Amino acid sequence: MSVPPWQPAGPADQQPVLPDCVRHPGRPTGLRCSRCDRPACPECLRPASVGQHCVDCVAEGSRTVRRPVTIAGATPTTKNYVVPGLIAINVAVFVVTVVQARSLTNLNGSSLFQNWILYPLATRNGSWWQLITAGFLHVNPIHILMNMVALWIIGRDLERVLGPLRFSIIYLLGLVGGNVAVFVFGQVQSAEAGASGAVFALMGGLLVIVYRLKLNASQVIGMIAINLVISVVIPGISLLGHVGGLVTGAAVTFALINVPARRRTMWQAVTVVVALVVLLGLVLVRVPYIPDLT
């Protein structure tokens, strides 16, 4: 007897054979990726604007999507990591010097303070680490309070624009730049300490970024001007350290945010190396004019 055209051949309860998931052989599925049309089980599918995409297509799409970056090439973020860390380090060093000196205002009795403070005569005669370590010392509670408040206020937004690594570079190069200015242009028997050079470097960097974004720079200029005037009129404040940090921070920030976007990381690394070479060159030029006591 012939089979009517509307009746399927074979047993009436026969089910169609479903293809296996491309990622899980032996797991039949009736679903497919709306992008590549390959069979995929529910575990391997992700919701998309149109249909569902398999995990392979999702991964491929994330690689091809251009991620937003700041003018410095950093990934935008609302979190801060470096600024709290720097504040913690500075406070910890201050606590150690206070404990060693057994005084809040006279830290000369601290061996750490004496070993780390920038004393150009000692620096030239072997204590080269002072060009860095002096930037983590503070002479009294008011000194560290003012610097840490400034670091917190200025540093938070700047770190988000520059990213943790670039922000750290600006901070440390500004710190060294301020100390190098004291070493090169200051008196050989002077003694300097404080994070002010690094803070001024952040001010310089902020000014450059504000101009780069074409924002109103009057507030930043006013802040820098007021702090420079304070550096002049109040005794005991290192104008050289502040100006050195300001110039270093502004120059390095300008270079970091204006390098070609293509191969940005390489050009930024070159900028850092050039800045270090310049600072080292200034130190070497100054060395012959400082007495050698060894």
pLDDT tens for each residue of 242-263: 999 999 999 999 999 998 888 8
Would you say 35 and 64 are in contact if contact means Cβ atoms under 8 Å apart? no
d(CA 115, CA 228): 28
Question: Is the pLDDT score of 163 beyond 80?
Answer: yes
Cβ(121)–Cβ(189) below 8 Å: yes
Helix (H) or strand (E) holding 172: helix 164-185
Q: Name which of 15-24, 27-36, 161-170 the model is least confident about.
A: 15-24
Amino acid 122 reads A
| Whole-prediction pTM | 0.78
Residues 92, 83 contacting (CB under 8 angstroms): no
- Residue 76's pLDDT is 78
CA triple 171-246-249, angle to 5 deg? 40
3-state SS, residue 108? coil
What pLDDT is stored for residue 3 in this prediction? 47
Q: How confident is the model at residue 140 (pLDDT cuts 50, 70, 90)?
A: very high
Q: Cα–chain-centroid distance for residue 11?
A: 71
**Does residue 4 carry a pLDDT above 80?**
no
| CB distance 155 to 90 below 8 Å | no
